[in-house]
Amino acid sequence: MPGSASVSCLGPWPKDVGIIAMELYFPSQYVEQSELEQFDGVTAGKYTVGLGQARMGFCSDREDINSLCLTVVQRLMERNGLSYDSIGRLEVGTETIIDKSKSVKTVVMQLFEDSGNADVEGIDTTNACYGGTAALFNAVNWVESSSWDGRYALVVAGDIAVYATGSARPTGGAGAVAMLVGPDAPLAFERGLRGTHMKHAYDFYKPDMVSEYPVVDGKLSIECYLSALDRCYSLYRNKIHAHWQRDGSEKLFSLEDFGFLVFHSPYCKLVQKSLARLMLNDFLSDPCSNTESGPFAGLDAFRDVRPEETYFDRDVEKAFMKASSDLFERKTKASLLVSNQNGNMYTPSVYGCLASLIALHTPAQIAGQRVGVFSYGSGFAATLYSLRVTQDHTPGSSLDKLVSSLSDLKARLESRKKVSPAVFSENMKLREETHHLASYVPRSSVEDLFPGTWYLNRVDDKHRREYARRPLDDDLSAEPERVRSTTATAQNIPSPAKKIPRIPAAVPESVVKN
């Protein structure tokens, strides 16, 4: 029963704690990056080739961080037939702050009211794009701790990435990811295999409390990202070598020991460069590497380079991107579906990449694989860790259900509405002018949202926000469900899982709502 650990969970820690189910939300409208190049008057290919971006999703003034998180949580619960009383911890990772005190998590708790479950730990976690990973680690640690009561943890990462007019604007995007965390997961954390690097830097930050726009030092940001990647990879390899040595093996770890690798993706080209960077690390750490044939063929001239001097070395970058091209095709390219088509989502970015990887493979293709995950947040904080995919990929298995639940990802991306760069620009201007206004009623049409999307209905004179949900059946004349972010007396939200077909989750039947 929810709220009480089973006998099998009373040992030192539950087995195979990790991600059981995932749900991804992105806005219903996008702009083509090639058209944005023309609109901005830049060289053709600057955004599409230089950044590796095809489309960018964006939010109108109808959506904010609260509505994004409400949408993705309710969608995960409905699609997986989960009861709200089966959740014992809820954490939100975000850097999209609309209140300096009240957490997004407390707003999302309104979805739990009908179940009567208010016994839910966790609040918001903030550090640029790293907050979602910190929230996920907190959830895993809770399940593995003496505080765990046998229920699931729910982790939400969500952000709206917008920039002022200029070179950084095409690296925007928006979205949210929800992840169900518990034992016997198809994506289990490999215990003890994390490399973390944290340091002070002003590479990207948001000092203006009344603006959504960040201050960005582009060159420093890239240097921080790559230096953190170097350090995290070194720490990760040291830890896995220690594990192997305890088992009597002197094998050296390399990128081939990852089945797949996913990265935080500000833009896709940086991810491709990052994989090349890890190959450089492999090359420099193995003094016996063969430069006559194999993956390191022709790279002998780079034997003595110092990594900290190569962040912007075009010769090194070009050589190792070429050398790692096969690795990229096999291990990372599929993970960039959402990043390429929707843009940077900040905290959900790396988990959108993980969802993309799962969506574009069959259960058999990913079963048993080690997935490397690199998460980076400016300021800065970074971790490289690994997930182990379960071996069981039989029909009806937890892995099969997870893959099935994400199989519509490509179709959902294609179902969005394309708008012109001029309309996109008007939306950005509207958000800029109305950000954090009191007594505000959003002007954008609800009809542009996906069915089932929560949206901002109004902001009252005390900055209290009221939300409503677009009906799932497309009947806009129906009375929308409504919630307010400031009161415990909001209308009860109807029980979910009755309006759309249930997709069985990879969860025990004991916690599935009948």
Q: Which residues are catalytic?
A: 95, 129, 264
Contact 467, 455 (CB under 8 A): yes
CA dist 351 and 338 (Å) reads 10
Contact 188, 386 (CB under 8 A): no
Question: For 440, which DSSP code?
Answer: B
**What DSSP string runs through 370-411?**
EEEEEEEETTTEEEEEEEEE-S--STTSHHHHHHHHTTTHHH
Longest Cα separation, the chain: 72
Percent of residues in the chain assigned helix, strand, coil, to nearest 5: 35, 20, 45
Element holding 57 (H helix, E strand): strand 55-57
Here the tokens at position 339 are 């990043």
Here the tokens at position 81 are 């037939």
Angle, helices 268-285 vs 218-246, to 10°: value is 50
CA angle 128, 100, 351 (to 5 degrees): 30
Question: For 320, which DSSP code?
Answer: H
Residue 322 is labelled as binding a ligand: no
Residue 273 is labelled as binding a ligand: yes
CA angle 137, 140, 142 (to 5 degrees): 110
Angle, helices 421-434 vs 33-40, to 10°: value is 80
Phi and psi of 139, rounded to 5°? -65, -45
Give the total residue count for the chain. Answer: 514
Residue 269 is labelled as binding a ligand: yes
Contact 157, 90 (CB under 8 A): no
Contact 267, 52 (CB under 8 A): yes
CA dist 86 and 21 (Å) reads 14
Contact 299, 291 (CB under 8 A): yes
Can you say which residues are annotated as belonging to the binding site for CoA? 221, 269, 273
Can you say which residues are annotated as belonging to the binding site? 221, 269, 273
